[in-house]
Amino acid sequence: MKENAIEISHLTKKFGDFTAVNDISLNIEKGEIFGLLGPNGAGKSTTINMILGLIPPTSGKILVEGKDVAKQANETKQDIGLVMQETIVEPELTAEQNLRLFGRLYHMSEEEIDKKIDFLLDLAGLTAFRKAYAGTFSGGMKRRLETVKSLIHDPKILVLDEPTTGLDVQNRTKVWELIKKINKEQGVTILMTTQYLEEADEVCNRIAIIDHGKIIALGTPTELKHSISKGDIIEIATNRQQLEEVAKIVKKTLGEEPRISGDKVSVSVSTDAVKKMEKIMNALNASRIQVHGISMHEPTLDDVFLKLTGASLRDATTENVQSSRAMLMRRR
């Protein structure tokens, strides 16, 4: 049996009448990259805040590296590094000052901090920008600095809350490379949330999907994808007025219950996907229904998410993140 970095048992958090986290039990193994996915308000942040020791649970227990967060918060905090959703490196401080601040807050000696700063700036590829103010950095540089900042005190676990939100593809790739490197070379356990499901699919060893405060699915990305469909997914894009009609035809042709989301009708098929797609096309032609497109693909985490929570993760979160970002920009 593998050792666990984080053990969560029967964790519950209530805010008044609202139950944000409802009796969650979960083990995160040492050295793995674990993804916690869920729509907004599902209880992800509340769970993470309790692991970080920022808010006390209503009931239940969290062990971090074998230590109880409720009783030994100072020790468990030394074991965890936090990378936040928003880029929170201080723009009015230099890269070095940003790192030094947190080194001191983790009660490291100045010599340890000096050594660590050299190492971390090198790891982030920012050695040349040691004395430059973080405010002058690009988004990707800031995020890399933020990521290595969380490593200043040699944590055993790294908690990443939406580490690549708001970054372009190139910078996202760089951040993921850095995170994978940290995981691999330093054996740091990674617990992360993200809204980019394809990234979670690629990076995470295991994934838990959380909704309404409960874990509704847990497993490797492949396990999760196969849990909803052994085969492929056929998707038909059409205009909204015809969605119902298309769904009816699909059901009549295949005998399977299709799902409707946005302007698409989709259906999981376990065998003979190509033939079944042809059948649908013929049936649609016979009914003289115009469609925008028809496609077939293997199930993705998006499909898993859609099936389990009834909402697309991206749709639910992007808007929210952007508006809060805009608000912060204004205030800054």
| Site for other proteins, rule CB under 8 A | 45, 49, 52-55, 73-75, 77-78, 80, 82, 84-86, 88, 90, 92-93, 97, 101-102, 104-107, 133, 328, 331-332
Residues β-bridged to residue 63? 7, 68
Q: Are 221 and 201 in contact (CB under 8 A)?
A: yes
Q: How far is the CB of 213 from other proteins (least distance, A)?
A: 18
Q: Both tokens of residue 81?
A: 């590094």
* Distance from chain centroid for Cα 291: 34
Nearer to other proteins, 106 or 302 (CB): 106
CB closer to other proteins, 102 vs 129:
102
Q: Which is nearer to other proteins, 13 or 225 (CB)?
A: 13
Nearer to other proteins, 75 or 256 (CB): 75
Q: What is the CA radius of gyration of the chain?
A: 23
Answer positive or negative: Cα dihedral of 113, 116, 121, 127.
positive
Q: Please identify, using beta-carbon distances, which residue of 143 and 225 lies nearer to other proteins.
A: 143
| Residue 139 neighbours by CB distance under 10 Å | 12
Q: Provide the minimum distance between the beta carbon of 254 and other proteins in the complex, in angstroms, as a whole number.
A: 47
Distances (CA, A) of 109 to 99, 100, 102, 103, 155: 13, 10, 12, 8, 16
Tell the smallest beta-carbon distance from residue 169 to other proteins (Å).
24
Determine the Cα–Cα distance for residues 147 and 176; give it in Å rounded to an integer. 10
Closest among 74, 76, 179 to 124, alpha carbons compared: 179
Q: What is the phi/psi pair of residue 268, to 5°?
A: -90, 135
Q: Least distance (Å) from other proteins to the CB of residue 7?
A: 19
Comparing CB distances to other proteins, the nearer of 54 and 316 is 54
Least separation in angstroms between CB 136 and other proteins:
12
Least distance in angstroms from the C-beta of 206 to other proteins: 23
State the minimum distance, in angstroms, from the CB of residue 102 to other proteins. Answer: 7
CA distances to 59, 63, 104, 175 from 170, rounded to whole Å, are 42, 36, 33, 9
